[in-house]
Amino acid sequence: MLRWNARRFLVISLALLVSACSLVSVEPDLRYAGGGRDHLYDLKQWSFEGRLALTGQKDSWSANISWDHQPGSESIKLSGPLGQGTVLIKLAGHMVTIDHGDGQVETSSDPEQFVNQQIGMFVPLRSLRYWVIGLPEPSKAFEATADGFKQAGWLNEYKQMQLANKESMPRKMTVMNEQVKVKLIIDQWKLDNGRAY
């Protein structure tokens, strides 16, 4: 009798749990909307933490990424599992500095070409500064698509958006052309006021 009551209690508890779960509202996925984002050009400071996968015609690699934007400069930290193989890229104006973390620091006045030499793939760093926040680079023409835009021979697709300080910011995005594909998953944003989202 006791065994039957325990079994009955378990079945009823599970049924209540399943029905309770079905009543919990789930926030729908946010979709990319190109319109109404121009005010994000005025963001003075932002940063994010996430994961990056880069695939070229002959090579591919992945890393954790931390990107910190300040007025006039970008600081991009790439690291492997447990912080191994950390590389720090700093971009200020037309100058780029790459610190490999082993005392080897290199500087160039041609950021895209320099990064291309370092990783064997062309990545449009200056444009990417805008693309990661869901905006086309303001000085170049672009064509809107259903979930992003095309600009300078690159297709930007925003697979999933997330709320950060009431702003719709990228969560999953892909930037690609015929030679290179960049996948980015952003786990956490910090916008102007310094709070993490």
Which range of residues forms the domain containing residue 70? Answer: 38-191
More confident residue, 52 or 197: 52
- Max mean pLDDT among 3-12, 22-31, 112-121 falls in 112-121
In a domain, 13, yes or no: no
- pLDDT tens, residue by residue, 47-80: 999 999 999 988 888 999 999 999 999 999 999 8
Rounded Cα gap, residues 182 and 60, in angstroms: 10
**Is residue 6 over pLDDT 70?**
no
The separation between the first and the last C-alpha atoms of the chain, rounded to the nearest angstrom, is 52
CATH of the domain at 132: 2.50.20.10
Count of the separate structural domains present in the chain: 1
In a domain, 32, yes or no: no
More confident residue, 193 or 161: 161
Element holding 46 (H helix, E strand): strand 46-55
Question: What's the pLDDT score for residue 29?
Answer: 63
In a domain, 3, yes or no: no
In a domain, 89, yes or no: yes
Question: What's the pLDDT score for residue 40?
Answer: 94
Rounded Cα gap, residues 80 and 83, in angstroms: 5
Q: Mean of the per-residue pLDDT values for the chain?
A: 83
- Of 181, 155, 139, 178, the C-alpha closest to 32 is 155
- pLDDT tens, residue by residue, 94-135: 899 999 887 888 998 988 888 788 777 788 888 999 999 999
Question: What's the pLDDT score for residue 93?
Answer: 85
